Amino acid sequence: MKICVTASSEGLDSEVDPRFGRCSYFIIYDPETGSVESISNVNAAASGGAGIKAAEVVANAGVGVLLTGGAGPNAFSIFAELGIDVQVGAKGTVGEAIRQYEAGELQSIRSPNSTPGFGMRKGDGKGKGMKGGGMGRGMGRGM
C-alpha cells in the first residue's frame, strides 16, 4: 500500500511539511517495490481549494496512507470517501516519517483537524492561517 508524505522538497531526505494542501511536494513511497516518486504541488499557491486539488493528486496516485500535519474538511471528505488513512505527528525527514509510521508511532485522525485556508503564507491574499482559530470577520472573505 503506497504511502504519501507531504514535504518541503523532493526525495526521502526532504523535511516533512505539516501543511497538506499547501505543501511543496508529495513524496509517494511504495513499500513493496521501494520506489519513490516526488510530485510537485502545482496548486500550493491557489487562492482557494488547494486542499481539494492536493487530495485529488493523492487519490489518483493510489495512496492508502497519508502522512501530514492535518487536513481540512474538503480534503478530508475525499479521504473519507476513498478510505485513505490520514496520520499526523510525523517529524523530521520523509524517510524518518515513514519509519515512524511503520513503527506505529503516528496517530490516525478521524475528522478534519484544520480549516480551509490554513497554511497560506502572509501575502497570499487572504487574512487566514490561524490553526483552529475559526473564521472571524475579515477571514474567508476573498472569494
Q: Which residues contact other proteins (rule: CB under 8 A)?
A: 43, 46-50, 52-53, 55-56, 59-60, 62, 74, 77-78, 81-82, 125-127, 137-138, 140-143
> Torsions phi, psi of 136, nearest 5?
-100, -175
Q: Around Cβ 86, how many Cβ atoms within 10 Å?
A: 26
CB of 100: closest distance to other proteins in angstroms? 28
CB of 74: closest distance to other proteins in angstroms? 6
- The closest of 140, 137, 120, 143 to 19, measured between CA atoms, is 120
C-beta of 12 vs 52, nearer to other proteins: 52
Spatial distance between the Cα atoms of 81 and 85, rounded to a whole number of angstroms: 11
Please name the helix (run of DSSP H) or strand (run of DSSP E) that holds residue 29, with its range, or none: strand 25-30
C-beta of 31 vs 62, nearer to other proteins: 62
C-beta of 27 vs 55, nearer to other proteins: 55
